[in-house]
Structures are given as C-alpha cells and as structure tokens.
Amino acid sequence: MADLLVTEPLVQQWLEETKLTVDRTPDELDQTARDIVFSQVSQVYDTSTWVSTATTPSLILRICSMFIAAWIYERQYSENLPLDDTNWGVKLESMANLLIAGIVGLTIDIPGVLPGAIGTLSDPIFYPTDAQETDGSGEERKFTMGKVF
C-alpha cells in the first residue's frame, strides 16, 4: 500500500476537537478517498505525479481529508444522527463532491496546476502537414495552404 496521503491534522480540521479526535488516519479510508478523488480528477489533470503529501495539490489533499473526516464522523455517530443534510458528515461529503464536480467541469481551478490530462479536448487529435491528403482518420482534408480558388 502507498504511503498515507492525508495527515491527521488535515482530517482534524473538519472535526470538532472536543467531540471527535483523530489519532490516526485509517489506511483504508486514505486509499478509498484517494481512489475516488483521483479517478474523477484524472479526467482533467495528470495525477500520476501526485504520490505524496508534498507532490499533491493542497486542494486535492483537502478534498480527500473532507471525505475521510465525513466517514469517520458517520462511523462514530451513525446510530444517533439521520443521514440527511443536517448531518455534518453528509455535508462534508456533499462539499467534497461539489468541489470535484467543479474541478472536472473546469469551473474550479487547482492553484498552480494546469489542466492537461491525456485525452482531454485541449489536446489536438493529429498534426497535419502539407504533404498529407487525409487527416488522421482517413478523411479527405478540407483546407490546404497555397491553393488558388
């Protein structure tokens, strides 16, 4: 298993210290949060270099920590609270999912990181040359340079 991505202080920031203290971040929750966030964000950003707390953008770490805090909170208080929008754990999960949706929808930027995952619409499909009669899909080119009409 990879090193933990999210530290205890990152998770604790979402929880009231006098009511719920995080002594350690469970490995399985860290990995699950990482899988959920990275699998969605990788549609827009190259996540291959995000291998530690030092190399992962702060916003991504905070989203992962929100999920972990929500799950710990829901585990602790699941018998006492309804799973509706009055539950702090549900609110945290909703906020994390909204942030992910904004990142994937390109309405929220990850500071200091440029979008550019492989296969996004920002990448050209092929680079034509003057010598090519067809494009990368075998279709006839519709535009050429130096042609007199």
pLDDT digits (tens, 9 = 90+) for 16-50: 998 899 988 888 999 999 999 999 999 999 998 89
- For the chain, what is the domain count? 1
Amino acid at 20: L
Which pLDDT does position 124 carry in this prediction? 54
pLDDT tens readout for residues 92-143: 999 999 999 999 998 999 988 888 754 444 555 555 566 666 666 667 666 6
CB–CB of 29/71 below 8 Å? yes
Answer yes or no: pTM beyond 0.85.
no
Q: Which of 42, 41, 10, 39 is nearest to 24 (CA)?
A: 10
Which residue range(s) make up the domain with 64? 1-149
